[in-house]
Each structure stands twice: as structure tokens, then as C-alpha cells.
Structure 1
Amino acid sequence: MLFNLSILSLMLGFFFANILSTIPAQTGDWSVVSSSIIITLNELINKFIYTKKNINEFLILKLINNIKIGIIYGLFVDAFKLGS
């Protein structure tokens, strides 16, 4: 069950990355603002998660971390699609 939730949260993060990279970039002037918001939220989540001594006790923290990893992975995939 935990493995299924982890994979689902990872794919949810990948889906959020596609949303975050396409919707604000339609106007062209929101790319800097949206990227700074994404980086700030990423760093805040990192600070909160990795200051805990045992992350394995909290299921919600693992799911949030997997969503964060999915967002980062999705943004890298979008960057490679734009670069080619």
C-alpha cells in the first residue's frame, strides 16, 4: 500500500510540474515569478522535511517529499523537451 501511494504521489508531482510549466508561461512574463515561487516552496519543504530526525514515521511527509521529487523530475523533463 505504501509503495502504491509513493508512486501515485510521484506521478501527481509530475502532473503538477506539467501544469506549473505550461499555464504561467502562456503570457511569457510570469516565468520568473513562477520559477521563484517553485524554488522557494521546494526549499521550504526541504527545510521542514530534512530537519526531522525520522521521516519514516510520518506518511504525509513522505508523500509531500515524493510530490516534490515528482515536480523536480517533471520540470527537468520539460526542460529537455524544450532544449531539443
Structure 2
Amino acid sequence: MKKTNLNQLTEYIVNIIRQTHKNKINSLSLSILYMLLGFFISTTLSTIPGQTGDWGIIGAAVIVTFYERISQQTYPLRFKNSLTHVFINRINYIKIGILYGLFVDAFKLGS
């Protein structure tokens, strides 16, 4: 097959992703970044629907559904390749960030 610019770009991106996962410091940084992303998502989910007062139950149902689906995929941990394992772990970090953000919002409302 002929090497095109698209093939070279794809190989370059795949090599960068592979090198990123080999370095533990980058893995820790990405984990913290995904947890902060989850914190931002939880803040968004708790403030925007709260403006009208009608969407609290629907927002809670979406969060619980998201949590249960991710837990269902995460905890058996029988993946065919390591890329799927890394992807599910990153989503799990987002889930942890959402939980942390909701606890912080609950403490803000309690005080």
C-alpha cells in the first residue's frame, strides 16, 4: 500500500498515544485531567438544570444511568486489548470526578 499523508498522520498519532501510555507521569497527569473534566461535568449537570427546577430528577437519572453503565463495563476487566482497558479507565476517572464534584456541591448546599 502506498504511504499517503493520511497514513503517515495516523501512524504518527498512534505512536504518540502508545508513547504516552508508557510514561507513568503522563498517565498520572491524564488521570488528573480526566478527574477535573468529570468535576466540570458535575458542576455543569448540577447548575444548568437547577435553574428551572424541573430537571433535577431527569439529571439524576442521567447521572445514575451513566454510572451504572460505566461500572458494568469497568469492573469485569476482561478486555481483549489494552487500548479498550485504557479507554474504560479514563472514563472511570471522569466518573470519579463527577462523584467528587457532586459531593462538593452537596457540601456547598448544606452550609
Q: TM-score, normalised by structure 2?
A: 0.70
Q: For structure 1, which runs of at least 5 residues remain unmatched after alignment?
A: none
Aligned counterparts of 1:43 and 1:75: Cα–Cα separation in 2: 16
Verify: 1:62 aligned to 2:109, yes or no: no
Question: CA offsets per residue over residues 38-73 of structure 1, 9 Å max, x none?
Answer: 11110111011112236xx32211110000000011
Unmatched tracts of structure 2, length 5 or more: 1-25
Q: Which structure would you say has the larger RCO, counting Cα contacts within 8 Å and 6 or more residues apart?
A: 1
The one-letter amino acid of 2:28's match is: F
Percent sequence identity is 51
CA distance in 2, matches of 1:52, 1:32: 31
Code of the residue aligned with 2:104 in structure 1: it is: V
- RMSD between superposed Cα atoms in Å: 1.1
What is the TM-score normalised by the length of structure 1? Answer: 0.92
Q: Residues 11-30 of structure 1 correspond to what in structure 2 (within 5 A)?
A: 11-30=36-55
Q: Which amino acid aligns with 1:30?
A: W
Runs of 4+ with >3 A deviation? none
Aligned pair count? 82
Larger Rg: 2
Structure 1 residue corresponding to 2:67, chosen from 38, 42, 49: 42
The code of the aligned residue for 2:73 comes to F
Structure 1 position 6 matched with structure 2 position 36: no
